[in-house]
Amino acid sequence: MSAVTELAVVPPKETALTVFSTTNGLDPWLQQVRAKVDEFNKVLPDLTTRKGREAYASMAHQIAKSKTALEAVGKEISAKQKEIPKLIDAERKRVWDTLESWQKEVRKPLDDWQAAEDARVGKHNDGIQRIKDMALFGETPPASVVARVISDLEAVEINDAWEEFLAEAAQAKDQALAKLRALHGERTQYEDEQAELARLRKEKEDRDKKDHEERIAREAAEAATRAAEDKARLDREAEEQRTRDVKAAAEKRENDLKLQAAEAERKAEQAKREKVEADQKAERDRLQAIEDQKQAVEKARLDEKARADAAADEILRQEKLREADKAHKGKIYKAAKEAFIEHGMTEDCARLAVKLVASGLIPAMSIQY
């Protein structure tokens, strides 16, 4: 009784030895398979449908089953008929190679279609990865570089050319743009703060220089004022001494004058002394007023300088806090990345995983600082 496959009937056991030991003895069975293949090739299934692709695979599988069935019969005969192994083995090989070539012939359109499909899908996946990579940097870039990358990414068109990958490409572009715009804002703020800090430092240097020059000028003016005051004082004292000497001489020469004349002269001298003392007091009051004004101006200048210095110190303190926070986060990111690597991730995958969690893109996951 003959064994039946989907495509061919194997030779009956009674005649199998004759068939396999005869040159081209299996041609009738091969022709049955070829007839099925030719019938299949007349109306080829549509490779763009799943049913069509399954039809190609099914046909190739049926040929393989016929190949295996005939091979099994041949192997059985070869085992029993040791005296004619070469004939049988030669026929087995011929049949195997023939069916192998027909199998490849039938499957080639499917393989070609699959290769083209893989290339198309790979092209889209590569394009999406390039979009994602635009938001990745080896080191922190300046704001101008981030702005240029944003412009380049915005120029990437998301249209029907992406086919079924349109939604994934659009999502990748939106996520990359969101990351880039956030980074651009951070870098712009940082660079503005650095510029403001440099400006405040320059202003402080200018103020210190101006204060130094004003102090030198003030000290020189004060020295000149003191020298003038000393000269005026010495002149006044010399004049007073000359006046006293003249008075003493006059009193000695006119010692004999009447008491009334002496009294009158004494009163006149007393009035003169009182006037000198009044003049001296007025001069002291004037100098004291000038000194009070100088002290008030100096106090106002020192108060303004203290306020500006405090503002600069606060900016420096904030900068140190940001740097410390950045270093702290960097340490945590590194520990998380090394933990991923230790549990089997590659370094690139570990770095990407940490970035995704830190960016809040992974639901129900976050990094504790």
Q: Are 173 and 156 in contact (CB under 8 A)?
A: yes
Last residue of a domain, one of 322, 342, 364: 322
- Establish if 8 belongs to a structural domain: no
- Establish if 341 belongs to a structural domain: no
What per-residue confidence (pLDDT) applies to 49? Answer: 92
Cα-trace Rg, the chain: 55
Q: What is the mean pLDDT of residues 342-368?
A: 85
Q: What is the total residue count of the chain?
A: 369
Q: What is the mean pLDDT of residues 130-151?
A: 86
Mean of all residue pLDDT scores within the chain:
84
Confidence tier at 237 by pLDDT (50, 70, 90): confident
- 62-88 in b/e form (b: 16+ CB < 10 A) is bbeebbebbbebbeebbeeeeeeeebb
CA distance 322 to 253: 93
> Encoding tokens for residue 288?
């004291």
Q: Are 138 and 179 in contact (CB under 8 A)?
A: no
> Encoding tokens for residue 235?
């002149």
Residue 143 has pLDDT above 50, yes or no: yes
In angstroms, the Cα distances linking 239 to 228, 243, 285, 286 are 16, 6, 22, 22
Last residue of a domain, one of 304, 322, 340: 322
In angstroms, the Cα distances linking 102 to 4, 36, 43, 109, 366 are 20, 11, 17, 12, 58
Confidence tier at 8 by pLDDT (50, 70, 90): low
> Of 133, 154, 146, whose CA–CA distance to 187 is shortest?
146
Q: Are 122 and 164 in contact (CB under 8 A)?
A: no
- Name residue, tokens 């090989």: 93
pLDDT: is 229 or 344 the higher one?
344
CA distance 111 to 56: 10
CA distance 283 to 230: 13
Same domain? For 122 and 205 the reply is: no
- Name residue, tokens 């002149």: 235
What per-residue confidence (pLDDT) applies to 17? Answer: 82
Last residue of a domain, one of 75, 106, 131: 131
What per-residue confidence (pLDDT) applies to 218? Answer: 83
Please list, in sequence order, all residues whose beta carbon lies within 8 angstroms of the beta carbon of residue 75, skipping any fewer than 6 positions away. 92
Q: Cα dihedral angle (225, 229, 231, 236), rounded to 10 degrees?
A: 160
Could you report the per-residue pLDDT of 36-91, keeping only the tens digit for each? 999 988 888 888 999 989 999 999 999 889 889 888 888 888 777 776 677 777 88
What per-residue confidence (pLDDT) applies to 79? Answer: 79
- Establish if 271 belongs to a structural domain: yes
Could you report the per-residue pLDDT of 171-183, keeping only the tens digit for each? 988 998 899 899 8
CA distance 69 to 10: 7
- Establish if 236 belongs to a structural domain: yes
Percent of the chain with pLDDT strictly greater than 70: 95
Q: Are 127 and 163 in contact (CB under 8 A)?
A: no
- Establish if 138 belongs to a structural domain: no
Same domain? For 113 and 211 the reply is: no
Residue 318 belongs to what domain range? 198-322
How many structural domains comprise the chain? 2
- Establish if 182 belongs to a structural domain: no
Same domain? For 111 and 224 the reply is: no
Same domain? For 303 and 214 the reply is: yes
CA distance 191 to 356: 26
Could you report the per-residue pLDDT of 293-321, keeping only the tens digit for each? 888 888 888 888 888 888 888 888 888 88
- Establish if 68 belongs to a structural domain: yes
- Establish if 352 belongs to a structural domain: no
Same domain? For 204 and 113 the reply is: no
DSSP 21-54: HSTTTTHHHHHHHHHHHHHHHHS---TTSHHHHH
